[in-house]
Amino acid sequence: MLIKKAEQIKPSEITPKEIYQQRRHFLKTSVNTGLGLAASGLLATRAADVFAGYGLKTLNHVKNSQYSLDDELTKYKDVTTYNNFYEFGASKSSPAATAHKLNAEPWSIKVEGHVENPASYHLEDIITEQTLEERIYRLRCVERWSMVVPWLGFPLAELIKKVKPTSQAKFVEFTTLYRPEEMQGQRRGVLAWPYVEGLRMDEAMHPLAFLAVGLYGEVLPNQNGAPIRLVVPWKYGFKSIKSIVKIRFTAQQPVSSWTRSAPHEYGFYSNVNPDVDHPRWSQRRERRIGEFFKRKTLMFNGYAEDVAHLYKNMDLKKYF
Ligand SMILES: Nc1nc2c(c(=O)[nH]1)N[C@H]1C(S)=C(S)[C@@H](COP(=O)(O)O)O[C@H]1N2
Ligand SMILES: [Mo]
């Protein structure tokens, strides 16, 4: 029915976002009827091939997460051309221009530290159809802009449960690929490479924390962190580390690359918090990419109901 409706409209009248939203609606219907994402034609052929390489043959089980928001989506073009990925340069446009040099296949993630099942895991060992979800999340940069992205991925907690951290594991440290031949930004010392980020164990286990392998129904573009990146929707964007090659379970709080480079500006927690200014600017407002007027920034990026309990009794001005 939906598809017939679409046929009555001239293709030139439809923006990519509208097409996607129709497909999204179709996906909802098709998941309910067991038709599946690949069968619905939502995935581009290349995406179907790549996901098949991960062992996901039909993507029958992709569901729309209960955590998805109803916010209007940021345009695909903006999501994939206005990026922060310092490994590909410090400007917003350079990742889209240079990230094609990254070879993201094959890929594996080394899991080490305080964990019962340390190993190098291939993506196909990590991603399972059963837990794949589409989640529409806000991404809020410390630089006061935000986006709304339809991610495809699975809860970080799924992976953590599989590798079984021991009781000594209090934190999780993530590391990005270091490959200066393909990541030209790494030839300069803007940050201490490789890029490192971390979460407290209870943050990492929270159902909102998500490992993304796709967006807009497609394989994750390189500039967005292919083939696998973290999304922590209640924290500033830099916590959402891209192109992850290592996950280490630690007893001590990890030192992230941004904290290492400017400890007064970027703390370990980096929760979105309109009441705590960045030393050089206020964090009260943000510009949603594609919008003209600024919005008020919401506590924990609007996810306070879900995550505020993680920080009760903590002075968030001190633990910023
Ligand atoms: N490895 C790595 N991950 C990274 C970054 C980076 O420079 N390197 N930038 C971060 C920042 S500051 C932001 S705002 C988000 C941007 O994600 P996006 O380009 O997919 O919107 O990625 C984060 N993850
Ligand atoms: Mo950011």
Cβ pair 249, 188 in contact under 8 A: no
Each residue of 108-119: pLDDT tens digit? Answer: 999 999 999 999
The predicted pLDDT at position 47 comes to 73
Average pLDDT over residues 132-161: 96
Q: Cα separation of 201 and 218, whole Å?
A: 30
Q: What's the confidence (pLDDT) of residue 11?
A: 44
Mean pLDDT of the chain: 88
Please write the tens of the pLDDT for every residue from 182-241: 999 999 999 999 999 999 999 999 999 999 999 988 889 999 999 999 999 999 999 999
Asked if the model's pLDDT at residue 265 lies above 70, the reply is yes
Q: What is the mean pLDDT of residues 163-182?
A: 98
Determine if residue 69 is left, alpha or beta; phi over 0 gives left, psi from -120 to 50 gives alpha, anything else beta.
Answer: beta
> How many Å separate Cα 213 from the centre of its chain?
8
Q: What percent of the chain shows pLDDT beyond 90?
A: 75
Element (H, E) at 162: helix 156-163
Q: Which of 82, 83, 85, 228 to mutate to test the pocket of ligand 1 (most atoms within 8 A of CB)?
A: 85
Evaluate if residue 34 carries a pLDDT over 60: no
pLDDT digits (tens, 9 = 90+) for 295-306: 999 999 999 999
Fold of the 17-24+61-311 domain: Sulfite Oxidase; Chain A, domain 2 (3.90.420)
Q: Are 202 and 310 in contact (CB under 8 A)?
A: yes
How far CA 307 is from CA of 57, 272, 300, 301, in Å, comes to 34, 11, 8, 10
Boundaries of every domain in the chain: 17-24+61-311
Q: Which atom of ligand 1 is nearest to the CA of 225?
A: 20
Q: What is the pLDDT of residues 43-89, one digit of tens each?
A: 556 677 778 878 776 666 788 889 999 999 999 999 999 999 999 99
- Give the tokens for residue 20: 């996607």
Amino acid at position 128, single letter: T
The pair phi, psi for residue 236, each rounded to 5°, is -60, 150
Measured in Å, residue 257 CA sits from the centre of ligand 1 at 12
% residues pLDDT > 70 (the chain): 84
Would you call 230 helix, strand, or coil by DSSP? strand
Pocket test for ligand 1, best of 98, 242, 257, 287 (most atoms within 8 A of CB): 242
Q: Is 238 in the pocket of ligand 1 (CB under 6 A)?
A: yes
- Contact status, residue 215 vs residue 147, Cβ threshold 8 Å: no
Q: What integer pLDDT is reported at residue 35 of this predicted model? A: 36
Q: Which two tokens stand for residue 98?
A: 């240079």
Q: Please say if the pLDDT value at position 7 is more than 70.
A: no
The reported pLDDT for the residue numbered 17 is 58
Report pTM. 0.89
